């Protein structure tokens, strides 16, 4: 298992596609509420997620133990190794967990709100336990402390079950959940995208872009472009920030502007650029 796995908690396949394209996503979790929100057939959603290339998809089953077991087996047969069967932390759910785990079908025990529940799930052979951080916090119980307790118990007893922290609604909770021993965090797409952000990164990038533009000025194209001839193009409006690069009619810029830099000549007197494209 690689370090710090990130799962996306949604049944919105467009969002999953975008997140997966970053190359940083290790799995997807769904639940009946998320499937309902998608307005689609669950198995159609699972198939699309598998086709996107997601290799670990939590698919929730409901009903009594027998039904959860038969559904879990059927889903695992249908979707293969990418199917993780999600069951609730109830007597029926944990009976199903034991039966499926004995068949080497991975199980994610969900709706975990205490270390005691996580102990039972581990004894039932769960691959993952999903403590719901946000919902604990909603009820004035420190969700991250529950993660810490589960982690301490599992470590003390060398338990192989992994903590998959869920109901994470902000970046800080994700970081702290990993800090407190979660091996996987599942989060809505927005929280994943927010993980990239920091105000100092934005500010720093602004400065780097401005300084880079001073070294390699990008051009803002002005004037009547159609009237210009290739080989002798003047571009005006070069400001402090470089401005916006705009395709020049009749030119092949498929390799991008950097290829043109050696041929850019800046006139310091009137702040114009001459670009020789010939």
Catalytic residues: 86
Distances (CA, A) of 14 to 5, 24, 45: 21, 16, 11
The distance of Cα 168 from the centroid of its chain, to the nearest Å, equals: 13
Q: Find the part of the chain contacting ligand G3P (CB under 6 A) among 90-98, 129-137, 205-213, 263-271.
A: 129-137
Task: Give least dist CB 97 to ligand G3P, A.
Answer: 17
Task: Give least dist CB 61 to ligand G3P, A.
Answer: 15
Q: Does 29 bind ligand G3P (CB under 6 A)?
A: yes
User: How many angstroms separate the CA atoms of 93 and 61, rounded?
Assistant: 9
**Which residues, numbered 151-180, are part of the site for ligand G3P (CB under 6 A)?**
166-167, 169
User: How many angstroms separate the CA atoms of 192 and 181, rounded?
Assistant: 19
Evaluate whether 151 touches 179 at the Cβ level (below 8 Å). no
Evaluate whether 119 touches 95 at the Cβ level (below 8 Å). no
Q: Which 3 state secondary structure label does DSSP give 224?
A: coil
* Burial readout 15-24 (b: 16 or more C-beta within 10 A, e: otherwise): bbeebbeeee
Q: Does 9 bind ligand G3P (CB under 6 A)?
A: yes
Task: Give least dist CB 28 to ligand G3P, A.
Answer: 11
Q: Does 12 bind ligand G3P (CB under 6 A)?
A: no
Give the number of C-alpha atoms closer than 13 A to the C-alpha of residue 188, restricted to the C-beta side. Answer: 8
Q: Does 71 bind ligand G3P (CB under 6 A)?
A: no
Q: Are strands 57-60 and 272-275 parallel, antiparallel or unpaired?
A: unpaired
Among 135, 175, 228, 237, binds ligand G3P (CB under 6 A): 135
Q: Find the part of the chain contacting ligand G3P (CB under 6 A) among 90-98, 131-139, 236-244, 246-254.
A: 131-139
Q: Does 132 bind ligand G3P (CB under 6 A)?
A: yes
Which of 90, 133, 87 is CA-nearest to residue 110? 87
Task: Give least dist CB 167 to ligand G3P, A.
Answer: 3
What tokens does 216 get? 């390699």
Q: Does 84 bind ligand G3P (CB under 6 A)?
A: no
What tokens does 26 get? 């290790």
Build a one-symbol-per-residue string for 175-214: x at contacts with ligand G3P by CB under 6 A, - elsewhere: -----------x----------------------------
Nearer to ligand G3P, 145 or 232 (CB): 145
Nearer to ligand G3P, 108 or 149 (CB): 108
Q: Which residues bind ligand G3P (CB under 6 A)?
A: 9, 29, 31, 132, 134-135, 166-167, 169, 186
């Amino acid at each position: 298992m690689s370090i710090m796995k990130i799962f996306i908690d949604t049944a919105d396949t467009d969002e999953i596609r975008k997140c997966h394209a970053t190359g940083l996503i290790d799995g997807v979790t769904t639940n009946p509420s998320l499937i309902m929100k998608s307005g689609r057939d669950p198995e159609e959603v699972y198939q699309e997620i598998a086709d996107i290339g997601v290799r670990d998809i939590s698919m929730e089953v409901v009903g009594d133990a027998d039904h959860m077991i038969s559904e879990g087996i059927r889903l695992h047969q249908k979707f293969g190794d990418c199917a993780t069967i999600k069951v609730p932390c109830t007597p029926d759910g944990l009976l199903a967990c034991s039966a499926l785990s004995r068949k080497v079908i991975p199980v994610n025990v969900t709706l975990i709100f205490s270390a005691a529940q996580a102990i039972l799930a581990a004894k039932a052979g769960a691959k993952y336990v999903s403590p719901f951080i946000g919902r604990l916090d909603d009820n004035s119980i420190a969700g991250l402390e529950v993660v810490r307790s589960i982690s301490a118990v599992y470590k003390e007893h060398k338990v192989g079950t992994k903590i998959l922290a869920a109901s994470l609604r902000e970046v800080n909770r994700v970081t702290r959940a990993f800090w407190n021993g979660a091996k996987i965090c599942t989060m809505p797409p927005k929280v994943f995208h927010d993980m990239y952000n920091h105000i100092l990164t934005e500010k720093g990038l602004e400065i780097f872009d401005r300084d880079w533009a001073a070294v390699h000025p990008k051009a803002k194209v002005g004037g009547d472009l159609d009237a210009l001839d290739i080989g002798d193009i003047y571009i005006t409006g070069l400001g402090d920030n470089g401005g916006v690069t705009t395709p020049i009619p009749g030119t092949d810029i498929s390799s991008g502007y950097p290829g043109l830099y050696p041929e850019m000549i800046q006139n310091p007197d009137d702040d114009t650029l001459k670009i020789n494209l010939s």
